[in-house]
A and B are shown apart, each in its own frame.
Chain A
Amino acid sequence: MITVEGISKTFLVAKREPGLKHAVKSLFHREYTAVEALQDISFLIAPGEIVGYIGPNGAGKSTTIKVMSGILVPDRGSCTIKGFTPWLDRVNYVKHIGVVFGQRSQLWWDVPVIDSFELLRDIYNVPQAEYKKTLTLLVETLDLGSIMNTPVRQLSLGQRMRCEIAASLLHSPSILFLDEPTIGLDAVSKIAVRHFIKEINKEKGVTVILTTHDMNDIEALADRILLIGKGTLLYDGSVSGLRSRFGTRRTITADYHENTKPLEIPGASLLSWTPERAIISVDTEQVMISEAITSLSSQVELLDVTIDTQPIEDIIVQMYKEYEI
């Protein structure tokens, strides 16, 4: 349903040295550097998928979202979504999508939330009956009942984000683009937002594409991730695939009867050690977990052992390092 093929986009950025002299000079003569925001990006997304789009700041995530939502025209490549080319048939295309920019509001600042919703209904030409139905559902699931008559400027960030998401769904789009939907939210709001995204995906089959820096979002939501760095697509696959490829390290925490002799386990590194407890990092590509534990139990009298997989955050950091992005 979403086909992106060989999208490239280059921005010309004016180069300017600091200082007044150069500022004046740049008025008359400017040098530009070409920044390749996207280089030959291609992927396919099926209806009903939740795709996490990740990468460090400035990698090209937002640019891709903007191309897919018809805001930017790419230099090369094609993009077909629901049979439309977003930037060519903008008005007809955007009826089918909802977009939430986490850092930018789509609500009118000084009026109650409900007024904004009603204007959006007019903008999208949603029939009254359908609007009522959708609104009731959204108010219920996002728990907006008590804040509908509050002016937007008086809402907390968490409340506002819930309203933003509701606002982008009033016209029942089949594709939802979320650009950092959980940025700056507290734990409770984050979980509420994630829960809701999961729900509309399951109930209404809405395809969701979200960018985020919070790997917990990805783990809670996305079946599939796209990793982008320096404008190129580096990884396209499942979260578990990512784990088996990059997250091969395990952390073993062992408690044992007092033992003053330092431990020695082949192929593993000791992260911390006390006479009662040791934390050991094992690369499972080199040593099997069972071998490490056998070796441990031969040296100390074990009381308790826990094995932790590497947090996804760490895996991502490792990937960023590996790809030098």
Chain B
Amino acid sequence: MKLYFKYMLMLLRSEMQYRGSFLLMTFCQCLTPFVTFAGVYFMFERFGELKGWSFYEVALCFAVTQVAFSFTECFARGFDVFSSLVVSGNFDRLLVRPRSTVVQVLGSRFEFARIGRLLLSAGVLVWAASQIEASWTPLKVVALVLMVVSGVVIFTGIFILAAAISFWTVQGLEVANIFTDGGREMIQYPLNIYHKWVKRFFTFIIPFACVNYLPLLYILGRDGADHPLYALLPLIGIVFIAPCLLVWRIGVRHYRSTGS
């Protein structure tokens, strides 16, 4: 973990070599969620509510997802762009160092400009949380924090899984984006607005529902979800990382390197 921060400092220093570009990127990154969020706002302006969900409730759901995703993109970017390490053969370099490949890949790349996105989403999160009609209890706050943390873990898991695929295909698969970007787009909204199989997929295959929809029901006190266990559901989401790491390990053994 200490090493991870050392990597981070190093890459931050590299990034600062190109200060102008960094500041501009950070600013631009703010715009993306801002525009999407504005879209949500105007939609509610027009339709008032979404299957019984109010604007602030959806905004909270949206913000939790965005915070988790931009955090992951910022700090687990190494896995997102991992296929380039395989294509260039630079993964060799990581293998001859006495550290776990996971830490080293995490440390190989940070996308600091995503902090812009993160900050904006965090702003929306706080704002929506203060506006919703719910009585905040300590457990609900815990649930909210867990939702974000566990969301980061699941997104990281998907990144790792997608990265591991490139051990077999060399080129990364765009298919993986269905689950990262696609997953993010889907779970920005409460899952009960979708078809049943979508809900099932995101509950039992990729447990996004555990970190987003279900604990949100608890926080809002909706649909009879008042058992305190709902608040701890995000912990299940964390388990998702285990199979991802397993596939990663198998992939590393399968690594073939490049010529020369």
Chain A residues within 8 Å of B, Cβ to Cβ: 11, 58, 62, 66, 69-73, 87, 90-92, 94-95, 97, 99, 101, 103-104, 106, 108-111, 115-116, 119, 122-125, 151
Find the A residue at minimum CB distance from B7. A119
B16-30: CB near A (< 8 Å → 1, else 0) gives 011000000000000
What would 4 more interface pairs be, CB under 8 Å, given A11-B256, A122-B2?
A: A58-B259, A71-B96, A110-B18, A124-B98
Task: Find A66's partner among B2, B97, B99, B257 (CB 8 Å cutoff).
Answer: B257
Taking the complex as formed, is B6 at the interface, i.e. its CB lies under 8 A from any CB of chain A? yes
Interface size on B, residues (CB 8 A): 26
Taking the complex as formed, is B135 at the interface, i.e. its CB lies under 8 A from any CB of chain A? no
Task: Find A71's partner among B3, B18, B92 (CB 8 Å cutoff).
Answer: B92
Contact B253 A73 (CB under 8 A): yes
A104-B89 contact in complex given A62-B260, A72-B256, A72-B257, C-beta closer than 8 Å: yes
Contact A108 B259 (CB under 8 A): no
Please measure, in the bound complex, the distance between the C-alpha atom of A69 and the C-alpha atom of B96, giving whole angstroms: 7
- Tell me, rounded to whole Å, the shortest Cβ–Cβ distance linking A173 to chain B: 10
Please measure, in the bound complex, the distance between the C-alpha atom of A94 and the C-alpha atom of B95, giving whole angstroms: 8
Contacts of A116 in B (CB 8 A): 10
Contacts of B11 in A (CB 8 A): 108
Find the A residue at minimum CB distance from B3. A122
Contact B93 A119 (CB under 8 A): no
Task: Find B98's partner among A101, A106, A115, A123 (CB 8 Å cutoff).
Answer: A123
Contact B99 A115 (CB under 8 A): no
Contact A71 B257 (CB under 8 A): yes
Please measure, in the bound complex, the distance between the C-alpha atom of A137 and the C-alpha atom of B89, giving whole angstroms: 31
Contact A71 B255 (CB under 8 A): yes
Contact A108 B3 (CB under 8 A): no
Contact A108 B98 (CB under 8 A): no
Please measure, in the bound complex, the distance between the C-alpha atom of A119 and the C-alpha atom of B92, giving whole angstroms: 18
Find the B residue at minimum CB distance from A177. B96
A115-B10 contact in complex given A94-B97, A95-B98, A123-B98, C-beta closer than 8 Å: yes
Contacts of A11 in B (CB 8 A): 256
Please measure, in the bound complex, the distance between the C-alpha atom of A99 and the C-alpha atom of B98, giving whole angstroms: 12
Find the B residue at minimum CB distance from A91. B98
B71-94: CB near A (< 8 Å → 1, else 0) gives 000000000000000000110110
- Tell me, rounded to whole Å, the shortest Cβ–Cβ distance linking A116 to chain B: 8
Taking the complex as formed, is B222 at the interface, i.e. its CB lies under 8 A from any CB of chain A? no
Task: Find A111's partner among B13, B95, B255, B256 (CB 8 Å cutoff).
Answer: B13
Contacts of B97 in A (CB 8 A): 94, 123-124
Contact B98 A71 (CB under 8 A): no
Contact B96 A119 (CB under 8 A): no
Contacts of B2 in A (CB 8 A): 122
Find the B residue at minimum CB distance from A72. B257
- Tell me, rounded to whole Å, the shortest Cβ–Cβ distance linking A9 to chain B: 10
Please measure, in the bound complex, the distance between the C-alpha atom of A66 and the C-alpha atom of B260, giving whole angstroms: 10
Taking the complex as formed, is B137 at the interface, i.e. its CB lies under 8 A from any CB of chain A? no
Contacts of B255 in A (CB 8 A): 71-72
Contact A108 B96 (CB under 8 A): no
Contacts of B6 in A (CB 8 A): 119, 122
A-B contact pairs, 13 of them (CB 8 A): A72-B257, A91-B99, A97-B96, A101-B93, A108-B10, A108-B11, A109-B14, A110-B13, A110-B17, A115-B13, A116-B10, A119-B7, A122-B3
A90-B260 contact in complex given A72-B255, A111-B14, C-beta closer than 8 Å: no
Q: Which of B48-106 contact A (CB under 8 A)?
A: 89-90, 92-93, 95-100
Contacts of B89 in A (CB 8 A): 104
Task: Find A104's partner among B7, B14, B92, B259 (CB 8 Å cutoff).
Answer: B92
